[in-house]
Amino acid sequence: MNCTDLVIAGASGRMGRMLLETCAADAQTRLVAALDAPASPALGVSARAFGGNLDVLISADAAGIPAGSVLIDFTRPEATLGYLDACVKNKAAMVIGTTGFDDAGKARITEAAKHIPIVFSPNYSVGVNTVFKLLELAAKSLNEGYDIEILEMHHRMKVDAPSGTALKLGEVIAAAQGTKLADRAIYERVGHTGERESGKIGFATLRGGDVVGDHTVVFAGIGERIEISHKSASRATYAVGAIRAAKFLNGKSSGLFDMFDVLGLR
pLDDT on residue 27? 95
What is the spatial distance between Cα 12 and Cα 43, in angstroms, rounded to a whole number? Answer: 9
| Angstrom distance (rounded) from CA 16 to CA 36 | 9
- Distance in Å from the first CA to the final CA of the chain: 23
Question: Do residues 98 and 76 touch, judged by C-beta distance below 8 A?
Answer: yes
Nearest to 70 by CA among 245, 262, 246: 246
CA 41 to chain centre: 26
Please give the distance of CA 216 from its chain centroid, rounded to a whole number: 17
Residue 158 falls in the annotated catalytic set: yes
Active-site pick, 106, 114, 133, 154: 154
The predicted pLDDT at position 1 comes to 57
150: β partners? 203, 217
154 is catalytic: yes
Note down pLDDT in tens along the chain; length 266 residues: 589 999 999 999 999 999 999 999 999 999 999 999 999 999 999 999 999 999 999 999 999 999 999 999 999 999 999 999 999 999 999 999 999 899 999 999 999 999 999 999 989 999 999 999 999 999 999 999 999 999 999 999 999 999 999 999 999 999 999 999 999 999 999 999 999 999 999 999 999 999 999 999 999 999 999 999 999 998 899 999 999 999 999 989 999 999 999 999 87
Residue from 91, 106, 158, 168 carrying the catalytic annotation: 158
Report the predicted TM-score, pTM, of the whole model to 2 decimal places: 0.83
CB count in 10 Å sphere of residue 224: 9
126-232 CATH: 3.30.360.10
The rounded radius of gyration (Å) of the Cα atoms in the chain is 19
- Domain boundaries 4-124+235-263, corresponding CATH code: 3.40.50.720
Collapsing DSSP to helix, strand or coil, 75 comes out as coil
pLDDT value, residue 2: 82
DSSP 8-class letter at 197 = P
The domain segmentation of the chain, as residue ranges, is: 4-124+235-263, 126-232
